[in-house]
Structure 1
Amino acid sequence: MRISPLSRNVIHDPVLWVAVIIYLVMIGWLSIARYMGFNAGVLDLGTMYQAIASTLRGEPLIVTSPQGNVSRLAGHFELIYYAFAPLIALWPDPRVLLIGQTLLAASGAFPAYAIALRRLDSVLAARSIVLIYLLYPVALTAVLFDFHGDTLAMPMILWLVDALERRSRWSAVVWAGLCLLCKVYVAVAVAAIGAYFFLWGGQRRVGLVTSVSAVAYGALVFFVLRPLFEDAGGSRIHNNYVEQYFGAFDTLLSTVGERLLNALVVVGPVLLLAWRGWRWLFVSTPILFAVLISTGPGTTYHYAYHHYALVVPFIVLSVIEGAEKLCHLVKVDQKNGIISASGNMVKSSVKTLNSFQRSWRSDLVFCTVTTVLTSAALVDIPLNPTFWVGLPGLGVDQASYGITSRDFVKSRFLTNHVPPGSPIAASMFLGSHVAGRSELYVLRYPDDPGGVRLPIIIDKIDYAVADALFDWRTTINGRMVGGVDYEAKEISILLNNSNFGLIYQEDGLLLFKRGVTAEESLLQKIEFVKGYKLTQKQIADFGPVRLLEARIDSSENRLFRAYFSWKLVGDSIDRRLIAVSRLEGVDGGRVVHLPSAFLKPTNTWPTDHVVVEQFEIRLPADLPPGNYRWITAWYDPTHTDAYATDQRSRIGNEVVIDTITIR
C-alpha cells in the first residue's frame, strides 16, 4: 500500500537535507569569502556589527553616521539585532552575523517544504518549492548582500504561515513577534499575511487579529518609539522615511524602464504558476510596489540589493497556491464525471486527465528550472558561468569573492597597527574589519565625490586608515567605479593636515594619527628645485618622467629614508602618475611614493624644475633579516588593474634602485 506523502515527516526527506546543506556550503562560503576578501564594506555589514556590539556596552544599537553617532532604533528599529549580541560576545567577528543569517535563511526551506507537501500531497512538488525558495534570484542577492533585518524576516514569514496553516496559535504568535522585531516595515508583511487568512484562509478572526496587531505595532514604532531614540547617540537625527526613500519622484520617469525590468526579474521566473496564486501576490503588492518606486540612496529598486527579501515568501506561496489550483481542476473534472462510461471515451478522457495532471507538475518543474536559470544568469554565484571568468567585480575576481595574498596583509596590518576602540575614519572595505568600536566613520562615503566629507569629520577622529592602492573596482555602464585613486583626495587632505601624521605604511595601507610625535611620524616631503645639482647620477626613463638620482638610507628600528630626484621629459603632463617601489621577494612589500602621488602629483610639475622627493618607511618587524633589492616603477592609476602594479598599468620598465639590508 502506497504511503501518502503527508504521512512522511519533513525531516526524513534526504533530498531536502542535501539541498539545504549544499545551500549552506555555497552561500556560507560566498558570504565568508566576500568578507575575508575585503569586499564587504562598512556600509552595511560594518555598521550592523557596530550596532550590535554597542549593545554589549549598554547602548541602543548605536552606529556612526557622517553626522555622528545615532541609534538604529531611531531608524529601522531592528530589535531582532539584540538576539545576535550573545553570539558576538562569544566570537567578536562580523562573520558570526553572516553565518547566522545564512543558517536562518536556509531554515526557510523547511516550512516551504511542509506547506507545499500539505497543499499538493506530492514530494516532487515540495522538493521543487524548496529549490525555488533557496535559489530564487532576489532571495540569493538579499542573503549575499551583507546583513539586514528584512533578510532575517524572509524565512520567518514562511515559518509564520506554516504555523497559521497548522493552526498552532502560540507558534504563530512567536513567529509573528519575531518578524515584527526585524524591521519597522516588516509590519506591512505581517499585516498582509493576516489579510490573506482573513479573506481567503478560512481563519477570519486570526487573520484580523494578526493584521490589526501588525498595523498597531508598526504605527507605535513609527510614530512613537522611533522619535524617542533620535538623540540616543549624541547626534540628533531626523528620520523621514517618505523623504529618504520617496523624495525624488522626479527621477521616476527617467528610470521607469529599469524599474519594470527589475519587476520582471522579481516575479518573472515563476509567473507561469504564480499568477494563479494571485491572492498572495495581491497582498504583497504594497511591499513590491514600494520598492519599485523607491528613490532612496542608490538604485534601491535594483534586484541586486536586499529590499525584495520580504517579497520572496509571498512569491513562493503564490507558486504553491497556483499549483494547487491547477491540481484541483483535475479533481473537479473527476467529480463532474468527465470520464465517460464508453471505452473509447474512457481512454480519451484518461489521456486528457493524465495530460492535465502532468500539467501542474510540469509547470512547477518548469518554474523551478527557470528560477535556477535566472539565478545562474543574473546572480553572482558559482552557477553563473561568468563567476569563473574573473571579470572586474564578479565571481572569483579579487573585488568580489576572490581572496588574495594582499587580503592577508590587510588583516595583519589592521590587527597589528590599528588600535582598538579609538575613533577612526577607515577605508570603506577596511572599516568592516575594525567595526567593534564606538565611533567608526568612512574615509570616503559612497555619495562623496571625493574630499568633501573628510574635512567635516576630521576633528572627530584620532586615527585614519586609507588605502593608496585601493583594490576594489568594478565597471558599471562602462565606467570604472573604485580603483587606485578612489581615496586620493582624502589621502592628500591627511598628508596636508598638520594635526595628523603618517605613522605606518605597508603595501599601500596607510595609518594616520592625530597629534603624532616627531619620533612617530614618517617624513613625507617633496619640493621643486631650480638649478638642482646632481650628486649621484642614476638616469632612467619612465615615459614622461625621468629619474635623475636615488638612494636609500637606513636608520635604527628598521626605519629607512628614500631620496628620489625626478624631472619631466619634454612638455608638462595633464595626468597623475604614481611611483611605487617594492622589495623584491617580499609579499606585501610595496611602498607608494606618497609625496609625488598626493602632495605634488605629476600634473603639477613644472618642466624647468627638478622634483626632489623624500619619504620614510618603517619595515615590518616580522620581515626576515637579509638583503633585499629596492625596485621602482611608475604606473597609470586610471588603469582598471592599477592596484596590481604590474605590466598592465606600468609605464616603462622597473629599475633596481639599491639593495637594502635588514638586520
Structure 2
Amino acid sequence: MQPPPPHHSTRDLWLWLMMLVVGTMLTLLSLARYWGYNTLMLDLGNMSQAILSVLRGEPLVFTYYHGPLSRLALHVEFFYFLFVPLMALWPNPQVLLIGQALLATAGAIPAYRIALRQLDSRMAARCIALIYLLYPVMQTAVLFDFHGDTLAMPLLLFALDAADRKAWRSYALWIGLALSCKFYVAVPVAGIGAYLWLWGGQRRVGAWTMVVAVAYGAFVFLGVRPLFAVASSTTTQTGMDYISFYYGEIFLVTESFIPRLLHALVVFGPTLLLAWRGWRWLLPAMPLTSAVLLSSGPGPVYHYASHHYALLVPFLIMATIDGVAWLRKTKEVSQPWRWKVDLGVTALVVVLVGALLVDQPLNPRFWQGIPGQGLHHWSYGVTPRDGVTTRFLEHYVPPDVPVVASVNLATRLINRDTVHIVIHPDSKYEDHFATILPQVDYIVINALFDWRTVVNYEQAELAYALKYPEFGLVAARDGLLLFERDAPTEAVLPQTVTLVSMSDLPDPELALGPALLRGVEVLPLEGRRFQARFVWQLNGPPPEHDWVAI
C-alpha cells in the first residue's frame, strides 16, 4: 500500500460523467420497476414497512406470514435506521431505491482512488471505475429490490480505500457501517483482516479487524436474533436452523451442477484475465460466494442476478487492481504495453457481458418488448392500468387499516402496522389466506394478476373472499377488487349472474375458435366511463385451462 499522490485523486471529469450516466440509469430503472408494480412486498415492501415502523417506536418490524416480526430477528440490518429520517420526510419505498442506487454508484469513487494510487495512471483508474459501475452482478444487485448486501458493497470499498491510505479512523467507521448492513457481512470483513495480517503489512489492524468481525457476527447471530425472535418464528429465525433453511437440501446440488458452474462463470468470468493474478484479494469473499453457489434455498439463490453476489464485487475490483499492478511490474521491460491491453480487454468484456446478461439499455433485448425484459410491462414498462391501480389504491384503501393484498400491490400500502400478502411463499400454514384473514380488515386483490404469471394465480383466494361472510365487495375497477370486513349492506356491490335464452340473440358476430361472441352492448355512464356487456357462447368442449375475456 502506497501513500496518496499529491494531486486531488477524484478531480476527474470522466469519473463523474461515468457516475452520472450509470447512477442515473440505475436510479431510473429501479424506479421504473416500482412505477410499473414490478417490485414486490417481499424484499422492498418488507424493508420499507420495517423502516417506517421505527417512526411508530418499533424495532424494524414488518409483517411476516404469521404476523409482526423484527428485521433484527433475521438479517440484523442496523444500517436501515439511517434511512428513517429520509422516510420520515417522504414515507415511500422510492426513497430506498434512490438511496441504494446512489450509494452503489458512489462506490466508483474509492475504486478510482485505489487504482490511481496503486497504478499511478488516470486511464487505469477510469477503467477500474468503469469495470465497477458496469460489472454485471453489481448492477443486478442494485436492480433487485433493496438489500443490505447491496448497501454494504460500496461501504466495503470505502473501507478498503481508507486502509490503502492508512486512514484508520475512517477505516473503522466504514467497517462499522458495512457490518451494520447484514450480520454475515462479518465474513468478508474478517477476510479483510486476514489479508491485512498476512499480506498487507498491517498485522495489528488485521488482527483487530478479525476479532471485531468474529465478535460482532457471533453477537448478532447468537444474541440479537434470538432476542427479537417471536414465539411463532420459523426455522429461519432460530439460531443454527437458519443454515438448514438455505442448505437443507444440499444433496440436490449435484443435480444442478452445470447451471451453478455457468452462473459462477458469469459472476467471476468478466475480470478473470487480470483478477486471477490478484487471487489473494478474492479469498475474503470466497466463503460467502461459495455458500451462495452451494445453497439449495429458494430463488434459486445461486442465480447470478442474486443480490448476495454484491459482496464479492469489492474484492473483484481489488484483485483486478492487484493483477494490473503485478503485470505492470513483471512485464515492465519485455512488454510494457501488456497491462494496458489486458485492462482494456477486461473493461470491454465487462461491458459486453453486462450488455448481454443484465436487463439494461445496453442490452439489445431491452428495446424489443420481450415478456419480462426491458420495456415490457413485466420489467420496466408502465401501462395505463398502472395509473388506474395507483388511483384505486389511493382512493379506496383507508390509511392505517390492516390489509392483505396481492404481492405486487402490497408495496404501495406499507405505511401501516399490518400488510399481509395473499400468497406467501414462506408460509407454513396449510391454508395461508384463510389463516391470516382474522388479522385484517380489508382485502385488496388484483383479479387479473398481470405480473409474470398466469392470471389465475390468486383465483382460489379470490373465490374464498367472495364467499367469506364477514367480508363484502365494496369497490371494483378494471380487475381491482376491494373487500371490507363487516361492510354496510348498502355499500356492498351486488354479485349476480343472469342466464339468458340463446334464442333471443342475433347470429354470431365473431367466432374466436371454441368461443362465439353473440352480443355486445356499451352504455355511457358518468363522465368518461362506460359499461360494456358481452355475451359469449361456448362452441364445443370447455378448454383445458381457464380463460379470461377482456
AA in 1 matched with 2:322: E
Q: Tell me if the contact between 1:149 and 1:183 (Cα under 8 Å) persists in the aligned partners.
A: yes
By percentage of residues, which structure has more helix? 2
1:41-77 deviation line (CA, Å, top 9, x unaligned) = 1111111101101111111111111111111100100
AA in 2 matched with 1:47: N
By percentage of residues, which structure has more strand? 1
Structure index of larger Rg: 1
Q: Tell me if the contact between 1:444 and 1:450 (Cα under 8 Å) persists in the aligned partners.
A: no
Alignment of 1:242 onto 2:243: yes
C-alpha separation in 2, matches of 1:243 and 1:368: 39
Q: Tell me if the contact between 2:38 and 2:380 (Cα under 8 Å) persists in the aligned partners.
A: yes
1:264-310 deviation line (CA, Å, top 9, x unaligned) = 11110010110100101122211111111111122001011201000
Cα shift at 1:5: 9.7
Query: Per the alignment, in what secondary structure is the counterpart of residue 428 of structure 1?
Result: coil
Match of 1:366 among 307, 320, 345: 345
AA in 2 matched with 1:145: F
C-alpha separation in 1, matches of 2:359 and 2:386: 21
C-alpha separation in 1, matches of 2:4 and 2:196: 25
1:560-602 deviation line (CA, Å, top 9, x unaligned) = 998877654444554422334xxxxxxxxxxxxxxxxxxxxxx
Q: Tell me if the contact between 2:405 and 2:422 (Cα under 8 Å) persists in the aligned partners.
A: yes
In the other structure, the counterpart of 1:180 is: 179
Alignment of 1:578 onto 2:545: no
C-alpha separation in 2, matches of 1:522 and 1:556: 18
C-alpha separation in 2, matches of 1:21 and 1:461: 44
- Classify 1:486/1:290 alpha carbon distance in 2 versus 1 (closer, same or farther; 3 Å): same
AA in 1 matched with 2:363: N
- More displaced stretch, 203-212 vs 562-571: 562-571
What are the within-5 Å matches in structure 2 for residues 29-68 of structure 1? 29-68=28-67
In the other structure, the counterpart of 1:306 is: 307
What are the within-5 Å matches in structure 2 for residues 264-413 of structure 1? 264-330=265-331, 353=333, 356-413=335-392
Match of 1:457 among 416, 429, 436: 436
Cα shift at 1:12: 1.0
Cα shift at 1:149: 0.5
1:63-111 deviation line (CA, Å, top 9, x unaligned) = 1111111111001000000000100100111101011111111111111
- Classify 1:75/1:20 alpha carbon distance in 2 versus 1 (closer, same or farther; 3 Å): same
- Classify 1:567/1:134 alpha carbon distance in 2 versus 1 (closer, same or farther; 3 Å): closer
Cα shift at 1:8: 2.5
More RCO (CA 8 Å, sep 6+): 2
C-alpha separation in 1, matches of 2:172 and 2:153: 16
- More displaced stretch, 26-35 vs 421-430: 421-430
Cα shift at 1:468: 1.9
- Classify 1:119/1:554 alpha carbon distance in 2 versus 1 (closer, same or farther; 3 Å): closer
Query: Per the alignment, in what secondary structure is the counterpart of residue 377 of structure 2?
Result: coil
C-alpha separation in 1, matches of 2:226 and 2:352: 45
1:10-38 deviation line (CA, Å, top 9, x unaligned) = 23110101011011111111011111111
Cα shift at 1:141: 0.3
Q: Tell me if the contact between 1:70 and 1:235 (Cα under 8 Å) persists in the aligned partners.
A: no
C-alpha separation in 2, matches of 1:405 and 1:435: 23
In the other structure, the counterpart of 1:106 is: 105
Q: Tell me if the contact between 1:423 and 1:439 (Cα under 8 Å) persists in the aligned partners.
A: yes
Query: Per the alignment, in what secondary structure is the counterpart of residue 391 of structure 1?
Result: coil
C-alpha separation in 1, matches of 2:456 and 2:347: 44
In the other structure, the counterpart of 1:504 is: 475
- Classify 1:504/1:197 alpha carbon distance in 2 versus 1 (closer, same or farther; 3 Å): same
Query: Per the alignment, in what secondary structure is the counterpart of residue 76 of structure 2?
Result: coil
- Classify 1:17/1:554 alpha carbon distance in 2 versus 1 (closer, same or farther; 3 Å): closer
AA in 1 matched with 2:547: L
Q: How many residues align?
A: 542
In the other structure, the counterpart of 1:222 is: 221
Q: Tell me if the contact between 1:56 and 1:85 (Cα under 8 Å) persists in the aligned partners.
A: yes
- Classify 1:72/1:204 alpha carbon distance in 2 versus 1 (closer, same or farther; 3 Å): same
Cα shift at 1:496: 1.9
Cα shift at 1:242: 0.6
Query: Per the alignment, in what secondary structure is the counterpart of residue 357 of structure 1?
Result: coil
Q: Tell me if the contact between 2:4 and 2:165 (Cα under 8 Å) persists in the aligned partners.
A: no
Q: Tell me if the contact between 1:279 and 1:318 (Cα under 8 Å) persists in the aligned partners.
A: yes
C-alpha separation in 1, matches of 2:64 and 2:429: 17
- Classify 1:566/1:130 alpha carbon distance in 2 versus 1 (closer, same or farther; 3 Å): closer
- More displaced stretch, 505-514 vs 201-210: 505-514
Alignment of 1:417 onto 2:396: yes
Alignment of 1:121 onto 2:125: no
C-alpha separation in 1, matches of 2:86 and 2:69: 23
Q: Tell me if the contact between 2:331 and 2:338 (Cα under 8 Å) persists in the aligned partners.
A: no
TM-score (norm 2): 0.93
Match of 1:522 among 493, 502, 505: 493
TM-score (norm 1): 0.77
1:611-631 deviation line (CA, Å, top 9, x unaligned) = xxxxxxxxxxxxxxxxxxxxx
- Classify 1:447/1:226 alpha carbon distance in 2 versus 1 (closer, same or farther; 3 Å): closer
% of aligned pairs identical?
48
AA in 2 matched with 1:576: D
What are the within-5 Å matches in structure 2 for residues 636-655 of structure 1? none
Q: Tell me if the contact between 1:451 and 1:493 (Cα under 8 Å) persists in the aligned partners.
A: no
- Classify 1:170/1:525 alpha carbon distance in 2 versus 1 (closer, same or farther; 3 Å): same
Q: Tell me if the contact between 1:101 and 1:143 (Cα under 8 Å) persists in the aligned partners.
A: yes
- Classify 1:555/1:203 alpha carbon distance in 2 versus 1 (closer, same or farther; 3 Å): closer
What are the within-5 Å matches in structure 2 for residues 125-204 of structure 1? 125-204=124-203
C-alpha separation in 1, matches of 2:200 and 2:349: 29
1:130-187 deviation line (CA, Å, top 9, x unaligned) = 0111110000000110110010000000100111121111111111110110000000
Aligned-residue CA RMSD in angstroms? 2.6
- Classify 1:324/1:562 alpha carbon distance in 2 versus 1 (closer, same or farther; 3 Å): closer
Q: Tell me if the contact between 1:451 and 1:490 (Cα under 8 Å) persists in the aligned partners.
A: no
Q: Tell me if the contact between 1:141 and 1:379 (Cα under 8 Å) persists in the aligned partners.
A: yes
AA in 1 matched with 2:160: V
Gaps of 5+ in 1: 332-352, 474-481, 581-663
